Amino acid sequence: MRRVYLDHSATTPVHPGVIEAMVDCMQNHFGNPSSVHSFGREAKKLLEEARANVAHLIGARPEEIIFTSGGTEADNLTIFGVARAMRKKGNHVITSATEHHAVLDACQALTKEGFEVTVLPVDETGMVRVEDVKAALKPETVLVTIMHANNEVGTINPIKEITQLVKAHGAIMHTDAVQTVGKIPVDVNDLGVDLMSLSSHKIYGPKGVGALYIRKGTKLFPLSHGGGQERKRRPGTENLPGIVGFGKAAEIMARELPEEMGRMGRLRQRLIEGLLAIPEVQLNGHPTERIPINVNVSIKYIEGESLLLMLDMKGIAASSGSACTSGSLDPSHVLLAMGICHEVAHGSLRLTLGRDNTEEDIEYVLDVLPQIVERLRAMSPLYANKEG
Amino acid sequence: MRRVYLDHSATTPVHPGVIEAMVDCMQNHFGNPSSVHSFGREAKKLLEEARANVAHLIGARPEEIIFTSGGTEADNLTIFGVARAMRKKGNHVITSATEHHAVLDACQALTKEGFEVTVLPVDETGMVRVEDVKAALKPETVLVTIMHANNEVGTINPIKEITQLVKAHGAIMHTDAVQTVGKIPVDVNDLGVDLMSLSSHKIYGPKGVGALYIRKGTKLFPLSHGGGQERKRRPGTENLPGIVGFGKAAEIMARELPEEMGRMGRLRQRLIEGLLAIPEVQLNGHPTERIPINVNVSIKYIEGESLLLMLDMKGIAASSGSACTSGSLDPSHVLLAMGICHEVAHGSLRLTLGRDNTEEDIEYVLDVLPQIVERLRAMSPLYANKEG
Amino acid sequence: MYTDKVMDHFMNPRNVGEIDNASGVGEVGNASCGDIMRIYLDVEDNIIKDVKFKTFGCGAAIATSSMATELIKGKTIDEALELTNKAVADALGGLPPQKMHCSNLAADALHKAIADYKAKQDAKK
Ligand SMILES: Cc1ncc(COP(=O)(O)O)c(C=O)c1O
Ligand SMILES: Cc1ncc(COP(=O)(O)O)c(C=O)c1O
Ligand code: FES
Ligand code: FES
C-alpha cells in the first residue's frame, strides 16, 4: 500500500545524511566533550561544528546557541529561566492563546511563583494583534513570549513588529520558532528577538534535541544544575549524536530552503484547492500568512479521529484538533481561540507537507479523501439532521 | 598508534548493536509516539519495548520508568521534584559529600527555596557511614539522596542498609546508580529505593538519554511543562532513537553482565598491582567495595593534567581529579572529601575499564606509564625536594 | 585545546633541571591550583648564561616554563626583566582562557630569581 506521510508538523523523517553523520559520530567519535584526551577533543570539535551550523541557519553567533533536549525544554528554560532571573524587575509575563502547551503550561506554572500572566487572544485567522501586545505591556512586564508560527494552523505572527514594541518597552522577547525554522527564512537579528526556541525533529534531524538562541547579555537562570556544560545554562553530558544530527539537518535546511519553500507552497495550494472542492469544508488559519507546509481544514459533520483512522487505513498519516485525538475532553485550544465552535473543531484535519512529498501524494489524498468523507457523513446524525 | 580507551566512567563507546537499532528506528519508524496513525503507533511500540528493557535491567516494572535527557536531568528531577512535592511535610534533605555535581548543585539550589540540606561526610575510602545517615534523619527529613557508587573512586555505598533506615523513618530514598547499573547487579526491590537515576551513555548506549525509576506512589513535581508525555512527569517529544538505543544497551548489558563483571575484575586487579609496583603510588577508594571497572591511584609529585597529556600522546585515554583538568581552582571534591590532601589529589589518575579492553591493553599501559611518571618526576620540584 | 607550540614545549621541554650554586633561584607557587615552579639562573657579567627550571603543574605550566627559559637565555638581566607573562603566552601561540593563570607563573618565577640574584650581589658588596 502507498504510504503518504502528511504529518510533518508533528515530526519529520530523519534525513539520510543526518543518519550518516550520527552513525559516524557514534562509531568514530564517541568521546565525552569535556574530556582532556583526544577522544574528548574530537567530540568537542563535532559539538562546535554543529553549533555553528545551527547558528548559521538563524543568523546567530555560535556562542549564542545552547543545546537542549528539544523545543519543550527550550521553551521551559526561557520561561522559568528569564522570569526568575528578572523577578526583581517585575512579575508580569505576556503570551498568547495559541502557544504550544510547552509555553502555555510553563506560563501557567509561573503564576504559582507569584507571576501574573496575560494570555493575549488571537484574531479569527489565529494571529496575535500587535495593538493587543501594546495594550498589555505594563511597567512590571519582564518577558513576552509569542510563537513565530502556530503548529496547528500555521499562521505566522508579526514577530518583528511585536519585538520592536517589547524592546522599546525594555522587556525581553522570546519566540518559539519550532515551526518556522527550516521552513521559511528566519533571522534572529531581522526579527530582533532575545531568545528563540528550535527543535531538531521538525527539520529532519533526530528527536530529543533542540536549541535555545540566547542573545548575548540576556540573563537566564538554569532549570537544572550539575556539570558546567553549555555555559552553565544546561548541564549534563551533551547529546552528541543528537546534536551532530541536528547540526547536519540545519546545514541541509539552510541549503534546501529557498527551493523547497516554493515547492511546498505549490503543493499546498493544490491540496487546499482540492479540499475546498469537497462540500462544506472550510480552511482554518490565515489565507497567506501561513507556513508553506501547513493545510488545516474543518470537514463539517464528521469527527477527526475517525477520519484519521480511515485515512490511516489508506496509508495516509495526518492529524486533527479533535478532542478525541487529544486524550483530553476539549478540542484544540488553538481552534477554539480562533473562535471556531467545538463541532467544527472536532472535524478539523491537519495535513503538513515535507520534502519527500510529491504531486502524486497530493493527488492520492484528493482521490481517497472524498470517499472517506462521504462514508463518515453517511454515518453522522449531524449530517442527517442538516439534510433532513 | 595503539589507542587504549580507559575512560569508561566518563562515557562509553556506543555498542554496534545499539547503533543498528537506532538506525533502524530512524530509517523505518520515525513517527511521533503521540500520533494516532501507523507511523505513530510503530514509534510508540518501540518506545514501550525500550522501557521494558530498561525496567528489566534493574528489576522494575515498565510503568515505573520515565525517560529523561540523561543522568543529570534524572537527578535534578528527583531533587527538585520530590522536595517541592513534599514541601508541606518537611524541608530537610540529606545527601553526601561525594555525590555527582548534578546532585550536589541541585541540593545547593534547593537551599534557596527554603530547604535545609545536610551533606554527610565519607570515610577515607569514600564510603558514607550508615550511622551518619541515622544521626542526620530528622522529623523534617523528606528526601535522602546517596549515590550507589562514586564515579571517581568507584566506592559502593551501603544503599540497602541506608534505605532501610530512611524508609523506616518515612522519608523518600533516591540513589544515583549511573555508575553501577550495567556494571554490577542492581535491583530496585533488593535495594528498596524509591527513585533511581540511570544514564544510557555509561552503558554503551547513546548520550543524551537517561531514565528515572519512580516507585509507584512516589509523589514528584515535574521540572518542566508541556505535552503529557511520560505520564506528565517529563514533557516533550520523546527522544525515540536515543531511547531505542538505551533500551538495546540495557538488553545487552543484562545479558553480558555476569561474565563481563568477572573479566573486568580480573583486568582491574592486574592493573592495580602493576600501578602499585611504581614507587610512591597509592590506591584511592575502597579496596574491595568498588565497581569492577574502576582504578584510581595518586602518583605522588606529579600533576594529573600533564600525566593525561603524555598518556594521550601514547594513545591512552584516562582522567584525573587534578584541579588543572577541572576548569575550576580546586581538585576533585571527592578526593578532598576522603581526606586526601590537595597535592596528592592533583596527582590522581582514574582508569576505568570497558568491554573492549583486553589484557594487552593493560600491559601496554603498565609498560608506558612508568616512563612517563619518571619523566614528569624528573621535572617536578616537589620530587627534587623530597630527594634532596 | 593547546597549540602545537604548547604541545611541543610540553613534550620536549627545554632547560629542565637544576643548577648547582646558582646565581639566583626563584620559586612561585600558585596556591589556587597547587602548581609550583622553580627557576635557576647562572649569571655572568650581567648576562644569563644558563637557566633551568622545575615545574609541577599542567601542560600549560610546563610549556610556559620551557618557553620562558628559552626566551631569556643569553639575554642581559635588564632584558630578562622586561619579559612579561603575555609575551610568554604569545610566543606559545596563545593559551586557553582557563589556563591564562599558569602563564603568570613563568615570568613571576623568573623575576623572583633575578631579585634573588640581585640580593645576593648586594650582599657580596
Ligand atoms: C510550536 C512548538 N513548540 C514546541 C514544540 C515542542 O518541541 P519538542 O517536541 O522538541 O519538545 C513543538 C512540537 O511538538 C511545537 O510545534
Ligand atoms: C554518578 C553520576 N551521576 C550523574 C551523571 C550525569 O549523567 P549524564 O552525563 O547522563 O547527565 C554522571 C556522569 O556524568 C555520573 O557519573
Ligand atoms: S467520541 Fe470517543 S473520544 Fe470523542
Ligand atoms: S598548573 Fe593548574 S591549570 Fe595550569
Interchain CB distance below 8 Å, B381 and C54: yes
Q: CB under 6 Å to ligand 2: residues?
A: A 236-237; B 70-72, 75, 100, 102, 147, 151, 176, 178-179, 199, 201, 210
Instruction: Out of A202, A230, A253, pick the residue that ends a domain.
Output: A253
Closest ligand to the CA of B34 = 1
Mark whether B247 and B286 lie in a shared domain: no
pTM (whole model) above 0.90: yes
Range of the domain at A338: 4-11+257-385
User: Closest ligand 4 atom to the C-alpha of C34?
Assistant: 2
Q: What is the pLDDT of residue B17?
A: 98
Interchain CB distance below 8 Å, B312 and A236: no
Mark whether B262 and B187 lie in a shared domain: no
For a pLDDT cut of 90, what percent of chain A falls above it?
95
What's the mean pLDDT when you consider all of chain B?
Answer: 96
Q: What is the pLDDT of residue A374?
A: 96
Mark whether A113 and A168 lie in a shared domain: yes
Question: Does residue C125 fall inside a structural domain?
Answer: no
Gap from CA of A72 to ligand 1 centroid (Å): 6
3-state secondary structure (DSSP) of residue B92: strand
- Residues β-bridged to residue C30: C35
Cβ(A302) – ligand 3 distance below 6 Å: no
Is pLDDT of C30 > 80? Answer: no
Mark whether B273 and B157 lie in a shared domain: no
Taking phi over 0 as left and psi of -120 to 50 as alpha, with beta for the rest, B154 belongs to left
Closest ligand to the CA of A331 = 3
Mark whether B321 and B207 lie in a shared domain: no
Mark whether B216 and B315 lie in a shared domain: no
Least confident of A109-113, A251-255, B143-147, C105-109: C105-109
pLDDT in tens, A313-359: 999 999 999 888 766 678 999 999 999 999 999 999 999 999 999 99
Q: What is the mean pLDDT of residues B39-66?
A: 98
**B371 Cβ contact list (under 8 Å, min separation 6):** none
Q: What is the mean pLDDT of residues B95-123?
A: 98
Instruction: Out of A253, A277, A308, pick the residue that ends a domain.
Output: A253
Tell which of B26, B204, B350 to mutate to test the A interface (max A CBs under 10 Å): B26
Mark whether A218 and A265 lie in a shared domain: no
Mark whether B249 and B262 lie in a shared domain: no
Q: What is the mean pLDDT of residues A140-162?
A: 98
Q: Number of C-alpha atoms within 13 angstroms, CB side, residue B123?
A: 16
**Shortest Cα–Cα distance, A40 to chain B (Å):** 9
| Residue B82: CATH number of its domain | 3.40.640.10
Q: Whose CA is nearest to atom 5 of ligand 1?
A: A71
Q: What is the pLDDT of residue C32?
A: 62
Mark whether A276 and A205 lie in a shared domain: no
Do the bridges between strand B281-283 and strand B294-299 make them parallel or antiparallel, or are there none, so unpaired? antiparallel
ipTM given for this complex? 0.95
Tell which of A87, A207, A240, A357 to mutate to test the B interface (max B CBs under 10 Å): A207
Interchain CB distance below 8 Å, B325 and A100: no
pLDDT in tens, B213-222: 999 999 999 9
Is pLDDT of C31 > 70? Answer: no
Measured over all CA atoms, what is the biggest interatomic distance in chain A, rounded to whole angstroms? Answer: 78
Mark whether B127 and B211 lie in a shared domain: yes
Q: What is the mean pLDDT of residues C18-33?
A: 88
Is pLDDT of B328 > 80? Answer: no
Count how many domains chain B has: 2
Burial profile A196-225: b = 16 or more Cβ within 10 angstroms, e = fewer: bbbbbbbbbbbbbbbbbbbbeebebebbbb
Separation between Cα atoms, residue A237 and residue A254, nearest integer Å? 27
The three cell numbers of residue A300 are 463539517
For a pLDDT cut of 70, what percent of chain C falls above it?
98
**Phi, psi torsion values for B150, nearest 5 degrees:** -80, 145
Is pLDDT of B387 > 70? Answer: no
Give the nearest chain B residue to C17 (CA atoms): B379
Query: What residues of C are annotated to the active site?
Result: 33, 102
| Residue B316: CATH number of its domain | 3.90.1150.10
Going by the DSSP 8-state scheme, the letter that residue A132 receives in this structure is: H
Which chain C residues are within 8 Å of B388, Cβ to Cβ? none
| Residue C111: CATH number of its domain | 3.90.1010.10
Taking phi over 0 as left and psi of -120 to 50 as alpha, with beta for the rest, C2 belongs to beta
User: Closest ligand 4 atom to the C-alpha of C57?
Assistant: 1
Range of the domain at C20: 4-119
Instruction: Out of B230, B253, B276, pick the residue that ends a domain.
Output: B253
Contact C58, B346 (CB under 8 A): no
Question: Does residue C80 fall inside a structural domain?
Answer: yes
Q: What is the mean pLDDT of residues A138-155?
A: 98
**Shortest Cα–Cα distance, B19 to chain A (Å):** 7
| Nearest Cα to Cα of residue A75 among A102, A98, A107 | A102
Give the nearest chain B residue to A78 (CA atoms): B224
Q: Give the Cβ contact number of residue B107 at 10 Å.
A: 24
Is pLDDT of A263 > 90? Answer: yes
The three cell numbers of residue A177 are 520558532
Which residue from A10, A236, A315 is facing B72, i.e. has the nearest CB?
A236
Which chain C residues are within 8 Å of B300, Cβ to Cβ? none
Mark whether A221 and A322 lie in a shared domain: no
Higher pLDDT, C29 or B87: B87
The three cell numbers of residue A215 are 542573545
Chain B: which residues have CB within 8 Å of chain C?
301-303, 305-306, 309-310, 313, 322-325, 327, 329-331, 342-343, 346, 378-382, 384
Is pLDDT of B327 > 70? Answer: no
Mark whether A142 and A276 lie in a shared domain: no
Q: Tell me if residue A324 is catalytic.
A: yes
